[in-house]
Structures are given as structure tokens and as C-alpha cells.
Amino acid sequence: MTHAAQLLHEAESFLIVPHLHPDGDALGSALGLYHALKQMGKTHGVVVSHDPVPEIYRYLPDWQQVHTEHSHHRTYDVAVVVDQSQLNRAGKHEPLVRAARKILQIDHHVLMEPFADVALVDTRAAATAELVYRLLRHMRLPLTPEVATCLLTGIVTDTFSFKFPNTTPRTLRIAAALQQAGADLSYINEQVFETRSFSAVKLLGLALATLQRTEDGKIAWVSIPRSAFEAAHAHEEETEGIVNFVRSVRGVEVAMMLRESPNHKVRASLRSRGAVNVALLAQQFGGGGHENAAGCTLETSLAEAERILVAEAQRWMASSSSISRAG
């Protein structure tokens, strides 16, 4: 915490980078930190993202300050990489991060490849935004309503509005402090979870129509082909949240959402209920994440990806239950 604070205190220019396909935690953490640093008088800073801000997060204060393009000539004092455990998750901005004098990582994923000069990593934190909050407090920076809105968005999205088991008493205390500082919890919930585009709801319908499960009912999944995106006029980002419907099916321990990307890849979102660690499952395919929420990409057809992932999840669950029986 102290090293991270010192790095930010000393830096005159800074770069903040959320991950590819940024979610509410990546964007909320990035923008929350951006606002706080600006308040410190550090105006030579920029937030760069591989992908644009998804529509549902376009209520975050100054979301327009998240740039997707950047001229790669500048060397920043500090590159702050938020909510990612691998530097390649910075996407096209990875060279810019590597060119910075120092790299600060703020993250709550299981550490996969150490890349930072200073790593503020706590896997027990429900959201990276929790760590940004703790860092700002440590630096005695005031919490403005803008900062609070950004950070509470990170916590709300990563805890699925305090419903996931990653929600701790500390998470709730931090959320309360953010609400006290001016963040509007019900407004954030309304924006993130209760407001969808027409095309996203169409896509949800097409996706749920593909719902399948294994005979024992423990694994369920949906597979979204390109044709569904075209029929719904939907973008890839509009699949957000669909996997939670799959996970909600009674008896399901592992839920998956597979979607076909335009470049003949299949991206899979994995969720689990109970003891199954889907991060380990995702890691077998070069992905990662958390125990109960992870993702990976397969370079194969949708049907083949479905077969491979279901088989692997079944194998995984069989072996982990035999371990627990033996133990």
C-alpha cells in the first residue's frame, strides 16, 4: 500500500489502463483513480482502453476520458494497470504500459505472471475498486461523489450487487462509506442491471433458447452463434449478464456462456456455484479469473468448443469430488 502510494505521489504523468472488454470494476477503478489523481493536481494523466466504454457504463463521471486511441510516443512516469493479472489483457496498449518508467498493478485476480514494479494485489478483495478505495484512504485523498460513484460501480458489478459470496463485511463497510460520500446505490443498480438495449434483450432471448444441460443437471450452457448476433443486431458486449440466467437454473454447479467471435474464436464465460473452481478450468485453456467467475477463449468452432468445455468440466467435477471423498 505504502509503495503504491509513494509511486503515485512521485509521478508527474500517469497512464491508467483497464483490461480488454472492460467491465464495471475495470472502468470504475480506472476512472475513480483518475478523478482522485486529478484532484491531487496531477493533470498529466490519461485513461486508455483497448475497447470503448460499453453503453451501460456511460453514466460514469467523465467516461469520455477513456480513450481507445493513443499516440505511442510518450513515456509516462507510472502506468497503472487495473483489474488484470496478465499484461496482455491491456490489449493494443501493452507497449505503452511497458514503455512507462514504472508499472503499478492494482488487482484482485490470482496472480498469473508478475509484471509490475509495485503490485497491490489482494485476491480476497471483492473488486479492484475496493483496493483503489483502500489506496485512496491510505493517501488521505478526499472521496468526492465522482470518485465514490466510480468505485461503488466497481464493487456493485463484481459482487453482482452484493449477491456473490465474494461480498465480505469489509466490502459492505467500503460500500457504505462510498454511499456516504455521495454515490447513489440505487441509481448505479438501475444503470448496470436494470437498463438494457432492445438488441441486448433480443439476444438474451435467442441465447436462452439454446440452453442445454448435462444429464445430471450440474452443468448448463448456452451457445450463441454469429447468426444470433446478426438477427438481434447485437454487439458482443451485449452478452453481459446472460450467463447468470444459466447459473440460476436449479441444480447447476457450473454455468457457461459460449459465444462465437467474428474471428472464428469462441469466448467462454464460466460461472460456478459452490466448490467448483472455474478459474482453474479456464486456465487450462489459457484464460483465468476467479474461483466462481472466469473466462477463456478457444480457437475452434462453436460446436467443438461446447464439446471440449463440457467434457472438461465434467472430468474436473468428477476428479474434485473424488478428492474431497478421499480427504
Give me the residues that bind Mn ion (CB under 5 A), please: 25, 83, 128, 158
Least distance in angstroms from the C-beta of 210 to Mn ion: 28
Residue 90 · residue 83 · CB < 8 Å: no
Count, residues in the chain: 327
The nearer residue to Mn ion, 83 or 94, going by C-beta atoms, is 83
Least distance in angstroms from the C-beta of 263 to Mn ion: 25
**Secondary structure element (H or E) that encloses residue 81, with its range:** strand 78-82
CA-to-CA distance for 45 and 232, rounded, in angstroms? 38
The nearer residue to Mn ion, 150 or 234, going by C-beta atoms, is 150
Residue for grid cell 512507462: 100
The nearer residue to Mn ion, 77 or 158, going by C-beta atoms, is 158
Helix 185-193 and helix 145-158, axial crossing angle in degrees, nearest 10: 50
The nearer residue to Mn ion, 128 or 223, going by C-beta atoms, is 128
Least distance in angstroms from the C-beta of 129 to Mn ion: 8
The three-state secondary structure class of 305 is helix
The three-state secondary structure class of 212 is strand
Least distance in angstroms from the C-beta of 251 to Mn ion: 28
Least distance in angstroms from the C-beta of 300 to Mn ion: 28
* Position 32, amino acid: G
> Strand 78-82 vs strand 13-17: parallel, antiparallel, or unpaired?
parallel
* Position 290, amino acid: H
CA-to-CA distance for 22 and 164, rounded, in angstroms? 20
Residue for grid cell 508527474: 12
Q: How far is CA 322 from CA 165, 274, 317, 318, in A?
A: 24, 16, 9, 6
The nearer residue to Mn ion, 15 or 151, going by C-beta atoms, is 151
The nearer residue to Mn ion, 25 or 260, going by C-beta atoms, is 25
The nearer residue to Mn ion, 128 or 239, going by C-beta atoms, is 128
Least distance in angstroms from the C-beta of 146 to Mn ion: 20
- Nearest CA to 298 out of 273, 321, 267, 258 is that of 267
Least distance in angstroms from the C-beta of 57 to Mn ion: 13
